[in-house]
Structure 1
């Protein structure tokens, strides 16, 4: 049983200074080379049905975009393709995953030496070495776990565990794609792009979250594509008659806090009930912390005090 569950999203990498946003990838040589190949080799009809070229168009139209949302749009809007087109899209999808893997390997090379050790992402993982709580790291990113695996005490047997939900660069098995949304039918032609068809091992996320007394999301937006992993936790936490859990989101600013709350509410979970039925629910804004805003510094110090202070064992979480 893990008393602390740390859920790590791509915002964790960004906080460390890694250019790992999808928009960064879309501006990279790896992606530009891939898109150029697609454009040069395809006829007009093939270009109109190209997954990569659709993603390129979306990236050109907005400073912020999500490749997985574009994949979802593609799957929804292409429910009838001939066999040749399906083969073309599958080849593109495999090439897209390879290009993303190669890009992230390049920009994260020597991350240990590049990472700013004053950033909250680094400080949290470093300080948690000394926490008396047993812990589980749940990685939704692909990149930074290796930076911390060498910390001498963090993953001692029986003290720290970790799981890669969407694979990692270490094993060249990243999971990229989308999942079905409520009411959608399976697109069997393109089902290779559904995340569930790329998963090969159990992660027990619901159990880990429900057993933990401390749950920290760092850099994860609790977005629609990943909410299936958290649904049971939020349902239970919002209805618990005995508040015993501490839930903390570490995110960039007030706007990203609102986005997280909206994402939770859009999935049918009452945010007001979470405030009522959790011991604490806090948002720490990295932007304000780095600006030395007193409120953020106080919240950070409070959570670190709680995580590093020995606790009485045997507290049941319902």
Structure 2
């Protein structure tokens, strides 16, 4: 079969693993022994506004998890909130109180490093047997082997291990947040982006400050491709900076020949609305221009009425990628 010149970039988030049927949600981790075995119960939420209050981050995350009635948590978002909260400190010279960013104490530092290790251990032992009839797996098989396709994963799980020997994966892909390791459990990247105002002591939570971090080249990939597929990626405040310039450019009128095909695979209408809200929030409320100046479409894997639409997308993607 002859390759076309059509370049595709697939960007996958945790919703991709969930569509495969894998137990990789942060909530799965929080409810596991890998997390609960490190709770101390010695946490006082009322002290969070104190400048030097130190505590175990496992306890803090459990507190935030319990506050959510839906039993859902985004650990990276909660870490960002923790580091950017304001606190009150006492000026010893003037005797006055002033507002500032709190410091990260030794308990937080030690438990944060342990959190990454235990998350790695939890994910490393889960069953990676995927649902092969899922939209996520079928999309992998369509892209698999295409030399003009690139995959960037925001997950820690390896696509090679997911596909296994049966469906050997043969397309290069890059892990933005590092990848699971059996000999280096601290290799994964967990935290937030550079642009937050924090105390210097919290810099170890910045992704680019962590030992496993290296350039993602996502902006270069987005500029070079014809089509981008987002699957299970929420575009939340932690990861949106990777795409901000790209989406701003899609709000500008351009030649039809150079318009990008942009597809979002999400679970239901609520998650579709969440993505649209992020696009609206980050781009001066110009959501309409995304539809006007790019070939933008949404596919809801959990909505039965979208089934035919998804099948049509898969058929068209095969045609774009390959010429008989």
- For 1:277, the equivalent position in structure 2 comes to 293
Match of 1:124 among 114, 139, 159: 139
Matched, 1:19 2:30: no
Aligned 8 A contact 1:86 1:190 in 2: no
Aligned 8 A contact 2:158 2:180 in 1: no
Q: CA offset at residue 209 of structure 1?
A: 1.2
Match of 1:72 among 59, 76, 80: 80
Give the 3-state SS of the residue equivalent to 1:141 in structure 2. coil
Match of 1:102 among 117, 121, 130: 121
Matched, 1:162 2:173: yes
Matches within 5 A, 1:1-318: 3-36=7-40, 39=42, 49-62=55-68, 63-77=71-85, 79-81=101-103, 86-108=105-127, 111=128, 114-129=129-144, 134-146=148-160, 147-148=162-163, 155=170, 160-170=171-181, 172=185, 173-181=187-195, 184-198=196-210, 200-243=213-256, 244-268=259-283, 270-278=286-294, 280-288=295-303, 291=304, 293=305, 296-309=306-319
Q: CA offset at residue 54 of structure 1?
A: 1.1
> What is the CA–CA distance in structure 2 between the aligned matches of 1:176 and 1:98, rounded to whole Å?
10
Alignment coverage as a number of residue pairs = 289
> What is the CA–CA distance in structure 2 between the aligned matches of 1:185 and 1:175, rounded to whole Å?
20
Cα shift readout 1:226-273 (whole Å, capped 9, x = no counterpart)? 011111211122214123211110110011000001111111252211
Give the 3-state SS of the residue equivalent to 1:35 in structure 2. coil
Cα shift readout 1:137-196 (whole Å, capped 9, x = no counterpart)? 0000011422247677853xxxx4311111011464211012245xx4242011101112
> What is the CA–CA distance in structure 1 between the aligned matches of 2:57 and 2:321, rounded to whole Å?
52
Consecutive unaligned residues of structure 2, counting only runs of 5 or more, are 88-100
Consecutive unaligned residues of structure 1, counting only runs of 5 or more, are 314-318
Q: CA offset at residue 15 of structure 1?
A: 0.7
Cα shift readout 1:261-292 (whole Å, capped 9, x = no counterpart)? 111111125221110111x211111111xx3x
State the Cα RMSD in Å. 2.7
Q: Which structure shows the bigger proportion of residues in helix conformation? A: 1
Q: What TM-score, normalized to structure 2?
A: 0.81
Give the 3-state SS of the residue equivalent to 1:163 in structure 2. strand
Cα gap change, 1:223/1:151 in structure 2, threshold over 3 Å: closer, same or farther? farther
Higher deviation after alignment, 1-10 or 141-150: 141-150
Higher deviation after alignment, 72-81 or 7-16: 72-81
